[in-house]
Amino acid sequence: MIYWPVVLFAVAAVGGATLAVRKFTGKGMPLSLAAAHRIFRHSRSHRHIQRKGALGGIYTGLFFASHDYSFVTACDMPFLSKDFIVYLTEQVDKYDIVVPQLSDGFQPLHAVYSQNCLSPIKRLLIAGKLKITGFYKEMRLLSIPEENIKPFNKDGRLFLNINRPEYLKYIVKN
């Protein structure tokens, strides 16, 4: 048995994206090798999600999620805030997507998605359109404005991703 601190990290990696999908409880979940193999077989038999980047990872994670809503984040975002994730999950109400929006746009890899997103995402994947926000207009979306994010992002690192060695060096120094 393998215990993953982020529940469907293996799903995202197999789905070809650098994503992690986490249960709202925040607890790790056992993921057996058999389950990981089942996920791998699924991704291999569904060509529309192979090599489809982050959107394919979101689709795969939602497909295998055991809850109606999933918090999705990039695995290169180390400064997650449990309080902010809880805040996002408390906003779902009647929405399909709860996503932070900064002055430079949405933060789609730090958002909550419902199972209702599966069909629109699948249509985009089949069409070869991989922009994550490409299906947002079809969904009931709650945008979290910057002023609501500030209390959770006092040091400005909440959405920082470390996808280059120089970013890591900067973080270590500061």
What is the model's pLDDT at position 10?
29
Which residue has tokens 């969904």? Answer: 139
What is the model's pLDDT at position 15?
34
Which residue has tokens 């900067």? Answer: 170
CB 39 within 8 A of CB 14: yes
Mean per-residue pLDDT for 15-19?
35
What is the model's pLDDT at position 25?
34
CB 153 within 8 A of CB 87: no
What is the model's pLDDT at position 46?
53
Here the CATH number for the domain that contains residue 18 is 3.90.550.10
Q: Per residue in 28-76, pLDDT tens? A: 334 444 454 455 555 554 544 667 888 988 998 888 887 889 889 887 8
Q: How many domains does the chain have?
A: 1
Quote the tokens at residue 50: 């192979």
CB 39 within 8 A of CB 59: no
What is the model's pLDDT at position 82?
87
- Stated pTM of the model: 0.74
Range of the domain at 42: 2-173
What is the model's pLDDT at position 42?
53
What is the model's pLDDT at position 100?
98
Percent over 70 (pLDDT), the chain: 71
**pLDDT at residue 89 greater than cutoff 70:** yes
What is the model's pLDDT at position 133?
97
What is the model's pLDDT at position 125?
92
